[in-house]
Every structure is written in C-alpha cells, then in structure tokens.
Amino acid sequence: MNESGFSADWKVLHLNRNYPQSWQGKATKEITDSAFGVELRIPVDEYQKTTRSVKYGIMLIALTFLVFFLVEMFNRKRIHPIQYILVGLALCVFYLLLLSLSEYIHFNYAYLAASIATILLITGYVKTVFRNNKLTLIQGLILAIIYGFVYILLQVEDYALLMGSIGLFVVLAVVMYVSRNINWYGFNLEEK
C-alpha cells in the first residue's frame, strides 16, 4: 500500500473450485457464480458524522422541551413561548457549532465543545427563568445526559437503532411514571 493506492494478489487452486482449469466456449454458470470482488468502505468523515447527529436533532429538541414542560407542570413555573423559542434556537445553533468546529478539529472534540457550550448557555438561561438552583442543576444534568446519549449513538454506528430504541423506551417509561399524577384536564398535580 502506498499513497497512490494498493494492490492485492490471491491464488485459488483449481482443486478449490467447481469448474475446470481451462475450457472452450462461453463461461459456464459455475464461473459466474464464483465471481467475487472487494468492497472498499469509506470511513465516516466529519460531515457524515454531523449529518448523522442532525438526524437526532428532533429527538434532542423534543426531549429538551419535554423536560421544560414537566418542570413547568410540576413546579408551576410559567415558561413563555418566546423562552421556548430561544432555547430551541440554542439547540439549533449546536449543530452549526458542531459543523464549523469539526472542520478544524476532530469530530469528538468538536462535539464535546459544541455540547458543553450549548448546555452552559441553556443552563445559564434556565437559571434566570426558573430562579431555582435545584431546577437549574436538574435541567443541566438532563441536558448532559441527552447529549451524552446522542454522542454514544453516533459512536456505535451498527447498534444505533437498537440503542436508540431502548433509550427512547426508557425515557418514555420514566416520563409516564413521573407524569402519572398530573391532572391533564386541570393542569394541576392531584393531591394524594
């Protein structure tokens, strides 16, 4: 192997195949059936990784908004639609940061930098919205878990669907358990 490519040689003995060493006329079906080739796999580059991460964007945004909604319901903290929009824009800018950083540094470092910047931005904003250190910490931890989960999905290319499905099932189960006492018609917590 060198900079211009590579070459490969192989040898197949005539005893290892089901057709003769020489023949006259057209190639037989056995020859056609025994054909093989090499498939070269192009490694995933930064743009492909960014594209894959964008495919998880709706899930990331939906989970973040779900956490905001649950905090709003349980703590009776009103969040204005403009505040939801600003957080949504911060989540979208994450992908722009990721793409632009990954052009200059390795994707893993770009993902780490973009996610930390986005988590700090949203957590700082949440602190002013909720005015509660505990809720801010919970929101920041949940965002870190969500971004960590997406990062893991990006790394395990072959098992992404399985892990993503299991992860979303667990998230749905937790949300169903946590929201079981909400009176959805009155938007208040039922008294026990």
Distances (CA, A) of 140 to 64, 169, 187: 10, 22, 25
Burial label, 66 (beta-carbon count in 10 A; 0-12, 13-18, 19+): middle
Give the whole-number percent of the chain exceeding pLDDT 70.
77
Question: Residue 168 has which token pair?
Answer: 């979303």
The per-residue pLDDT for range 42-84, each reduced to its tens digit, is 666 677 777 778 888 888 888 888 888 888 777 777 788 898 8
The pLDDT score that the predictor gives to residue 76 is 75
The pLDDT score that the predictor gives to residue 182 is 74
Q: How far apart are CA 125 and CA 87, in angstroms?
A: 8
Q: Is the dihedral of CA 73, 176, 135, 120 positive or negative?
A: negative
Q: 19-33, 51-65, 71-85, 132-146: which range is least confident on average?
A: 19-33
103, pLDDT greater than 90: no
pTM: 0.68
Angle at 65 between CA 164 and CA 77, to 5 degrees: 145
